[in-house]
Each structure stands twice: as C-alpha cells, then as structure tokens.
Amino acid sequence: MSTNGKISIAQAMNVYGGGGAERVTLSLARGLHEMGVPSIAIATKEAGPYAAREKSGVEIIDLATGSDGMTGILKAAIKMRKLLKQRRIDLVHAHARGSLLAALFASIGLKNKPRLWMTWHIPDDVLIETGLRRKLVVWALRKCDIIWGDSQAIIDELEEKEPSLRGKGRVFINAVPEQDVTPAQNEELPVLLWMARVAPTKDPLILLRAAATLRDEGLKFKILLAGSSGDELAWYGKQAEDLHRELNLQDCVEMLGWVDGIDELLQRANIGVQTSLFEGLSLTLLEQMMAGLAMVATDVGDTAVAVKDGETGLLIQPEDEQALTDALRKVITDIDLRRTLSANAHASAMETFSMTAMSKRTYETATA
C-alpha cells in the first residue's frame, strides 16, 4: 500500500506504438494519476514514440529490452523484478500477453507480490497459441485475479476455448480522453470520417461503393478515409485504391493513408463511419463519439453498448451495402438528425466512456 493510503497501480504494455490498446493503457495510467492514485506505465520492450508524445505527466518506465519472444519476456522479467522490489506496486494491469508473463515471472518468490489483471483487447487474437506457448499463457491467465475483455464476445470466446478460466472474465469498457464537440457540427456540409486499418475485416470497400451510389444521386458530401494496410495487406490496400479510382471518387473521397494524430481529422468531420465485420468496442468509435460525430456503425461485438440506434447513431448489419447507403443518406440529408445524434453521442461518451469514468471504475474494482 502506498504512503497516501491508496493502492499503487501499474499499467504494463509491450510497446506504446499508438494503437488502440496502447492508447487505452496510457489513458488509464493518466486518469488514475489525475485522481491522485499512485500510477505508472511500464513498457516491457520499448516505450515507443506514442509514449513520448502522450505521457502528459505520467511516469513511463521503459525496460528497454528491445527483444521479442521468450528472450524479451525473460529480460523484461529480470528488470521488472528490480522495479517491484524498489517500489510497492499493489496491482499490475497487463495489456498484452508478453507483459503479463513478464510481470508473473518477475513476482515469483517476492514477499509482496502484486495482484495481476490482464485485459484482452484484440477480438481475433484470443488464445490463438498452440502447444507449450498456449499452456504458458493459460497458466499465466489462471494467476490473474481478473481477466478483462474489450467485449463480451472476447470473454465468451476465451471461456469457450479454455473452460478452466470461466468465472474470471469481465468486460472492460474502453474510454477516451474528454474533449469538446468538433466545430464541424455547425457546418452544413456533411464530412464523414472512416478511421481504421485498411483490411478485409474493416471493409472500407463497402463504404466506397455506397459513396458512389450517393454521389450519383446528386448528394454533396466529403469522406475522409484514413488508414493504411501495412506490408502484409498491401494487396488489399491496392484493391481499395483501384476501386476508388474505378468509381471516380476523387471529388468526394480523400484516401489519406496513415495519419499521425487524429485531432485534426476529428475537427473536420461531423459524421463517423464504422464498417467493420468484427470489433470489440472500438476505441476509434469512442473517440468519434467523444468529438460529437453522428455515428453510422455496424452492429458487431459490443458496438451497441455505445451506439444506441436512433439515439447516439445508426446501427446496421455488417456487409449490408443497402443498409449502409440508406443510413448514410439519412445523416447526410437530415441536418437536424445529424446534430441530435451528435449531441447525444457526446453526452453518452462523457458519462460512460470518458477517461475519468474509466479510471473511477478501475479503481473501484481494484479496491472492492
């Protein structure tokens, strides 16, 4: 227990590279810190550029192992063990399997062992290991007080794959820093923002086809499509670019590629679009709601926890091009609906999905 009577909590991640899980991890460390809770963030491999840019007063301890696999985990465990001996950390909240294993190995034999939590952030990456690696991960998960998942679907899949973990799972509600409503809400021109990895599971092609239909109807709008495919999915990125060119969408759809920092994009937009086939509870979606974007989103994972159909956005089924086109037409042509959805989305995000709300929920659970 820390000297001020509050428990000390460490967030642990392999690398803070700026993805959704990394943003949640640092937001949680920052939110707890601002509540007066002794809070640090640990990078078990390297801190990364996002950590340097976004730490905002939170202490980030870079174990700087620079190694992957089991070698990196063991190096991190040795360094983390020294840290646990130097400081009284009551709870290590790991956000990646490598950081969980490092924390577990580091605490073996310690007199004052920290409690362990693990949050699973990626819906399509639940216990995909095989053989010895799988046994090691399951062993580590059994040592956790709580196994969190970004959605109920993640918890259900985890418990289906490993029945011995039943009863440990809880849904971790993602959150984002508070911000004001984007100025674009007062603009009459509809500006739609799609932000994701350009990948088949995110299905940007359906948005391009819907845009062509709406453009041909004579509607005026702008779509900002932000994201890249990476080397492993370069073929799909080319497919998206080819379709953009084939449909002659240059006048209404900007293919922005990878964008560092989303604040400027959020400032320009007043409608958010999610076309994913799979999600937990998308951090990008929550960031758009917090900015007051009227959402059109696929009803996948726990999206409906945030997007209440007709209240904070419009929900559609994945891969339903007609439903997507109809929903976009509504928010493009009905400015009153758009502004109502915007106001409700922002209010809901502030109440339930803000960094402050997430930090309070976390601390209450840790001290229950």
Is the model's pLDDT at 10 over the cut of 80? Answer: yes
Considering the domain boundaries, does residue 1 fall inside one?
Answer: no
Note the pLDDT of residue 313: 97
Residue among 357, 307, 312, 306 nearest 338 (CA):
312
Share of the chain above pLDDT 90, in %: 71
Note the pLDDT of residue 42: 94
**CA 276 → CA 151, 178, 206, 243, distances in Å?**
15, 25, 10, 18
How do residues 128-149 score in pLDDT, each as one tens digit? 999 999 999 999 999 999 999 9
Considering the domain boundaries, does residue 238 fall inside one?
Answer: yes
279 and 130 inside one domain: no
- Could you tell me the strand order of the sheet in which 146-149 lies? 59-62, 39-46, 9-15, 91-94, 115-120, 146-149, 169-171
23 and 74 inside one domain: yes
289 and 319 inside one domain: yes
Whole-number Å distance between alpha carbons of 76 and 91: 17
40 and 163 inside one domain: yes
> Quick check: 240 and 255 in contact, CB under 8 A?
yes
> Quick check: 41 and 25 in contact, CB under 8 A?
yes
Across the chain, mean pLDDT equals 91
94 and 243 inside one domain: no
Share of the chain above pLDDT 70, in %: 96
State the CATH number of the domain containing residue 315.
Answer: 3.40.50.2000
Q: How far is CA 33 from the centre of its chain?
A: 20
Is the model's pLDDT at 315 over the cut of 50? Answer: yes
With cut-offs at 50, 70 and 90, classify the pLDDT of residue 1: very low
Note the pLDDT of residue 320: 98
How do residues 64-79 score in pLDDT, each as one tens digit? 888 888 999 999 999 9
Whole-number Å distance between alpha carbons of 261 and 259: 6
Q: 99-103, 122-126, 279-283: lowest mean pLDDT where?
A: 122-126
Answer positive or negative: Cα dihedral of 330, 304, 34, 56.
negative
Considering the domain boundaries, does residue 326 fall inside one?
Answer: yes
Phi, psi of 68 (to 5 degrees): -100, 175
**CA 365 → CA 114, 173, 358, distances in Å?**
15, 13, 11
Q: Please give the residue that has the higher pLDDT: either 55 or 211.
A: 211
Number of domains in the chain: 2
Is the model's pLDDT at 56 over the cut of 70? Answer: no
pTM for the model = 0.79
Mean pLDDT of 180-189: 82
Helix pair angle (283-290, 335-352), 10° resolution: 110
Q: Which two three-digit tokens encode residue 206? A: 């359906």
Is the model's pLDDT at 3 over the cut of 60? Answer: no
Answer positive or negative: Cα dihedral of 195, 197, 202, 208.
positive
With cut-offs at 50, 70 and 90, classify the pLDDT of residue 52: low
Considering the domain boundaries, does residue 3 fall inside one?
Answer: no
Note the pLDDT of residue 49: 72
Note the pLDDT of residue 19: 73
221 and 240 inside one domain: yes
Note the pLDDT of residue 256: 95
122 and 190 inside one domain: no
Is the model's pLDDT at 54 over the cut of 90? Answer: no
169 and 190 inside one domain: no
Is the model's pLDDT at 299 over the cut of 50? Answer: yes
Q: 15-19, 80-84, 336-340: lowest mean pLDDT where?
A: 15-19
167 and 212 inside one domain: no
210 and 78 inside one domain: no
The range of the structural domain enclosing residue 25 comes to 9-175+355-367
Note the pLDDT of residue 5: 62
Note the pLDDT of residue 26: 87
Q: How far is CA 361 from the centre of its chain?
A: 17
Is the model's pLDDT at 124 over the cut of 80? Answer: no
Partners of 43 in the β-ladder:
13, 62
Note the pLDDT of residue 2: 46
Mean pLDDT of 328-349: 96
Q: Please give the residue that has the higher pLDDT: either 219 or 355.
A: 219
216 and 287 inside one domain: yes
Is the model's pLDDT at 277 over the cut of 80? Answer: yes
313 and 218 inside one domain: yes
